[in-house]
Amino acid sequence: MPSHGRLSPRSAEVLPGRSFGHILGWRLWRLPNGTELPDHEGRLMSIVIHQSPWLPGEPKAAPFPPDAYGSGVNCGIYAFKTILGALGYAETILTDWTVQPFVLGEVALWGAVVEHERGYRAQYAYPYSFRALIYTSDPRSRIFETVEVQRILDLYNVRGTSRPGRIYYLPSRGGYRHG
């Protein structure tokens, strides 16, 4: 059983290298506005892959299964083991003028999984909880009112917490602040 992953209560390992249930990791999604990606308005999007939507009710599948050392060495859906890992990553991509709000939450992972020091790469994933909306000091990042964001998140009908709080990333003022 993976020592760092949170598996579901029914999880049990019966064969070496194989676990049952799912792993929970932490990751970020972004919410594009209709001007930027009109085809994906109202959908959670991956951070790195620009036009990669996460559709409500459908597992997100990596184009190619990840592996540790072979041809799929960079493939997979990424997640961090800890919330601090995800927040630290957000600091590397957010600036004072980032327009899009980011969504921080847990993600369920399954299928082929490569465990790394600080995270995972998985073959399949689906949002498990939404914990925080990350805004910046740019007023355009509040382009979605909270009600609108919540309407989008409700479409995913996640199993865990679905009512995120607000935090602000203000690098010029020392980092994160609660809303």
Helix (H, G, I), strand (E, B) or coil at 62: coil
Q: Which of 29, 54, 110, 135 binds other proteins (CB under 8 A)?
A: 110
Rounded to whole angstroms, the Cα distance separating 1 from 50 reads 34
| Binding of other proteins by 89 (CB under 8 A) | yes
Q: Which of 35, 39, 117, 172 binds other proteins (CB under 8 A)?
A: 117
| Binding of other proteins by 112 (CB under 8 A) | yes
- DSSP letter at 34 equals T
> Which residues 147-166 are close enough to bind other proteins by CB under 8 A?
156-159
Shorter beta-carbon distance to other proteins: residue 20 or 176: 20
Q: Are strands 60-61 and 23-30 parallel, antiparallel or unpaired?
A: unpaired
CB of 27 to other proteins, least distance (A): 8
CB atoms within 10 A of CB 44: 24
CB atoms within 10 A of CB 141: 22
Task: Tell me the one-letter amino acid at 30.
Answer: R
CB of 105 to other proteins, least distance (A): 13
How many residues lie near other proteins (CB under 8 A)?
56
CB atoms within 10 A of CB 26: 23
Binding site for other proteins (CB under 8 A): 2, 7-8, 10-11, 17-23, 47-48, 57-59, 63-75, 78, 80, 85, 89, 108-123, 126, 128, 156-159
